[in-house]
Structures are given as C-alpha cells and as structure tokens.
A and B are shown apart, each in its own frame.
Chain A
Amino acid sequence: MTKVEAVIQPSKLEAVKDALIEIGIDGMTVIEVRGHGRQKGHTEFYRGREYTVDLLPKVKLEIVLSDEMVEKAVQAIMNAARTGKIGDGKIFLSKVDEAIRIRNDERGVAAL
C-alpha cells in the first residue's frame, strides 16, 4: 500500500477530487495548509507597514491506495492540478505499513 500526498493549489481541489472519483478513488483526507516552494508570496499593507506573506494557502490531499492504483491516481491528480506555472505543487509517495478499518477491524488492502 502506498500513501499519496499531494500539495496543490486550493483552486484546483474540486477538479482533482472529480478526477479521482472518475477513476474509482473516493476516499481521501483533505487538509488546509500553508507553504511555498519557489513561488513568491505577496506583500500586504496595514497602516503603512509592509508585511511580506510568503507562506501561501495550499491544500494537501492524503490518499492511501493499493500499489496498482497509484500511477493512475498520480496521473489524474497531475492532469487536474497542473497550470504550468510555478506554485502548482508536489506529490509525494511513501510506503504504508498497515491500514485498519475501525468499524470492523478489516486489515490490508481490504481496509482501503
């Protein structure tokens, strides 16, 4: 099992969710985060003082999938989230040791 973590632009969340549902993935966790890579922030002015905001709002999706679904999911996310500009985001993959369904104690891929 693989965990897919995707940090994307907040405005792309609906498109990514729809794309994932279309390929049969409908379980996910969505977190609001702040961050940046190479994307510059912006400046705000309050009473004449300049504030540089370089931690930008992003959305992070976390999905745990069986290994054969991973590449399809990654492609779906990338196509839906890509604009071609700096700030599109990143996807990270990592191995998951175990998955457990709380309701009935199902384990492994059956719990996903």
Chain B
Amino acid sequence: MRTIVLQFLVLCCLQLLTQAQVPSGQPSSGGSASQSVTTESQTERLTRLEAQVADAKSSADNSWMLTSSALVLMMTGPGLALFYCGLVRKKNVLATMMQSFAMMAIITVLWGLFSYSLAFGAGNSFIGGLHNVFLRGIGVQPDPDYSATIPQQTFMVYQLMFAIITPALITGAFAERMKFSAMALFLILWSIFVYDPMAHMVWGKGGLLNASLGGRFPTLDFAGGTVVHVTSGVSALVCATYLGKRLGYPKEAMPPHSVVLSFIGACLLWVGWFGFNAGSALASGGLATSAFVATHFGAAAAVIGWAGAEWIRNGKPSALGAISGAVAGLVAITPAAGFVSPMSALFIGLAAGIVCYLMVAKVKAIFGYDDSLDAFGVHGAGGTLGALLTGIFAAKAINPILKDAQGNVLPSGLLEGNAHQLLNQLVGVGIAWALAIVGTLLILKIVDSVIGLRVSPEHEIQGLDLSQHGEEGYYWEASTL
C-alpha cells in the first residue's frame, strides 16, 4: 500500500515539475508522454540559461565600462583641471581650469559628429572612414571587433573620455600665455588630425599598429601610452618651444599658487586612472583586475622614485614632487597595465619616477624651454619610457595577445624572449613622435596666422582670468555689505 502511494506521489511530482519547465502553454500530458516533454524543455532551458549567462556577462562588463567612462571623465574634470590650476599663478587659475573644461564640451561634440568615425570606424591603416558620422550605426549592439559583450555606444563613450583628456594634457605646456580662442581652435584641429589617426592606428580596426586586430607593426599599448601621453607630451614640447617662454621666465619666481589644489587633483587622477587602465580591458574580468593592480603599483613605486630622488638632491621630499611622481608612474604604466605583472609594474613606476624627475629638474633647465606644467617632462617622457618598457616586461601569462597564424600564443616581451617586440614599440613610439611634431607644428602655424596664439604682454601681466574670461578666481576683498 505504501509503495503504491509513494509511486503515485512521485508521478504527481514529476507532472508538476514538467509543467513548471514547459515555457508557454504546452499541454502537459500525464504518465507515459512526460518523458518526451522533459527532453524538449531541457534544450530550451539550456538555451535560455546560456542567454542569461551572456546577459549577465554583458551586464557585468557594461557596468564596469560605464563606471570606467565616468572615472576617466573625472580625470579631466576636476582631476587635471585642479592639478594644473594649482600649479599656475593665482591670476590664471580659472583660465587654466577652463582649458580642460572646454575640452569636455568641445571634444564631445566633435566626437559625436565625426571624430569617433575617424578614429574607430572602418577605414585604412591610418585613419577611419566617415561611415559612422553622427554616430550612425552605433547603438546598443556590441561591435565584436572591439568588444563582444558591451554595447557599441558604451565603447564609443569610453573612448570619448580619452579623446577629451588627451588635448587637455597639452594645455600644461602653454599655460598662462595662450589665447582661449586660439587654444580652442588649435586643440580642435589637433584632435582631428593628430589624435584621431593615432587612436585609429593603435586601437582602430585595420590600424597599422593594432596588436589585437592584426596591425602590420603591432604595438603593445594597453591604455594609451603612445596614443594619449606620447602624442600630447611631444606636442606640448613643440607648443612650448613655438609659443616661447612666459614673460619673466626663468628669472622671475612663479611658484604654484596652490599645491593644495594640485594635490587634490593628483589624487583624483590616481583614482580615475583605474578607469583609464583597468577599463581598457573592455570587460570586468581577470584582465581588468590585472591592469588595476599594475596601475596602482606603478603609481606607488613612482611616488617613491620621485620623492626619493628629490630627498637625495634637495634634502627634502616635497609634496609637489610626490604627487608629480604618482602622475609620472601612472603615465608610464598606462601602455603596460594589461601586459605586465605587479612586480614589473613596481619597476616601471620606480624608473618613471626617477626619469621624469630628472627630465623636469635637470633637462628642462639645460634646454631652457618653458614647458610650464611639465606636460612633456611627465607625459612625453613618461609615455615614451613606459611604451619601451612595455616591450621589455610584457608577459604572455598576463595577456596572451600575440598569436601566430595557428592561434598559438607567442611570447610578448623581451624578458620572455621576444626581442622583436621592442622594435615594434619603437615604431609605435616613433610614429607618435613624428605625427605629434609635424601635426602640431602645422596646426600651430595655421592658427597663429589666422588668429594669433599668444595673448598680448599686457594681458599676460594682467592675467588670463581677467583678460580672457572677465573673472577672478578668488574674490577675497573685504566684504562690501
């Protein structure tokens, strides 16, 4: 009696289960027909589960990528804006912030209209085409060339934040003496004719230097050592030389008016850089973690490098030196972030801290150029150093990016036995230098002849806040009422 009751109960349970599994409206038959209903719904169930897993992966990747995009934007505003404005004299504080902020507005519009298409659209080895102008075809579907899991629009907006900060970096070279109108026109043209081609060559489909999409000279540049830092840093040097020194430089003392603001900016840059580097994994998995850790370690070691070098040379480690070291380390680790181990990151950071310190403290004085906020000393030199060290320290265990025709993973860097990669890195760096120098010189000449680059001496002495923007940064007069 009990076994019959048990069997009956089992059958009832089976029926209930099969009814639950059947997706929509399929009649469940009892007893003998339940076997075939279970098999069908298992396949459907698997398909549904697979889709859900893919959705979950996409959700995880997309949420990280949107967060990263916000972090990178924060690097420009207020990170870079604060870092730079604290270093200039009080009379130029707002103008310096405005230069970065203007990029947030202007580059966004350019990007949407046609710059994204030029950088990341399909084209040739050097530049994209106009297929995606006005963001045609850039919707929520992923573009498998760039990322299989995140919407194309996420990729577009993430890349936009890079396009914003790169020209903003150059403003450090001509701080305190460039007309706002000339700066805007110059950086618009620079963004189109220098940034877009470089981004395309390294990251765009068909790009000459693209390591993941079969470029002719695959350059390992994880998050933009060449695209962002070398181009902007070298352009900065060209600008500083072309525009000439500030009135009174170097004899007049022009110390930073607020290292406090620069300090806050530098810390925001450090935190934001996790979006810059770890976000360049374009996914939220192990590679993002790897890049995150390498980024942080590189920054930390560079602080010690710069502050240590200062301590030895001047007898005291300065706060400005420490934060500058952090930025230098972050710059140098940018191309390496997703390719190197944490220990390699420590070495790269330490080297960058020391080398960039010497660039700023010694080399600048030797050559006498007025790179006001050390855009070349930190970004140009740090980016070049980092890109070359990437060729040495890149490890396939971290990121199996180089593969042969059969799909076997090849060694990445010099320490693994791939000496050739260092040559490719040199090609990438060389192209960045050449493009930056030629492009910047041409654009400077054009803008200079059309509207003139430098403010008048009277306006320079009065300060750019008043002469360019009609404002004062700090209105600390005794209260009128």
Interface set of A (CB-CB < 8 Å, partner B): 44-49, 51-52
Contacts and interface: CB of A to CB of B under 8 A. Distances in A.
B360 A44 contact: no
A47 B253 contact: no
B149 interface: no
A43 to B, nearest CB: 9
Interface stretch (B52-60, B316-324, B472-480): B316-324
B360 A51 contact: no
Contacts of B324: 47
Given A48-B310, A49-B361, 9 more contacts: A44-B255, A45-B310, A46-B259, A47-B320, A47-B360, A48-B364, A48-B365, A49-B365, A51-B255
Contacts of B215: none
A70 to B, nearest CB: 30
A45 B360 contact: no
A51 B253 contact: yes
Contacts, number: 30
Contacts of A48: 310, 357, 360-362, 364-365
Nearest to B316: A45
B24 interface: no
Contacts of A49: 250, 361, 365
Nearest to B313: A48
Contacts of A51: 253, 255
B176 interface: no
User: Is chain B's binding surface mostly helix, strand, loop or mixed?
Assistant: helix
B123 interface: no
Interface of B: 250, 253, 255-256, 259, 310, 314, 316, 318, 320-321, 324, 357, 360-362, 364-365, 374
A41 to B, nearest CB: 11
Contacts of B362: 48
Nearest to A50: B314
Contacts of A52: 253
A19 to B, nearest CB: 28
- Ranked nearest first, the 7 interchain pairs of A and B with the lowest CB-CB distance are A48-B361, A51-B253, A45-B314, A46-B255, A47-B360, A51-B255, A48-B360
22 contacts: A44-B255, A45-B310, A45-B314, A45-B316, A45-B318, A46-B255, A46-B256, A46-B259, A46-B318, A46-B320, A47-B321, A47-B324, A47-B374, A48-B310, A48-B357, A48-B360, A48-B361, A48-B362, A48-B365, A49-B361, A49-B365, A52-B253
Contacts of A46: 255-256, 259, 318, 320
Contacts of B310: 45, 48
A55 to B, nearest CB: 11
Nearest to A46: B255
A52 B251 CA distance: 11
Contacts of A44: 255
Contacts of A47: 320-321, 324, 360-361, 374
A109 to B, nearest CB: 30
A39 B310 CA distance: 27
Nearest to A51: B253
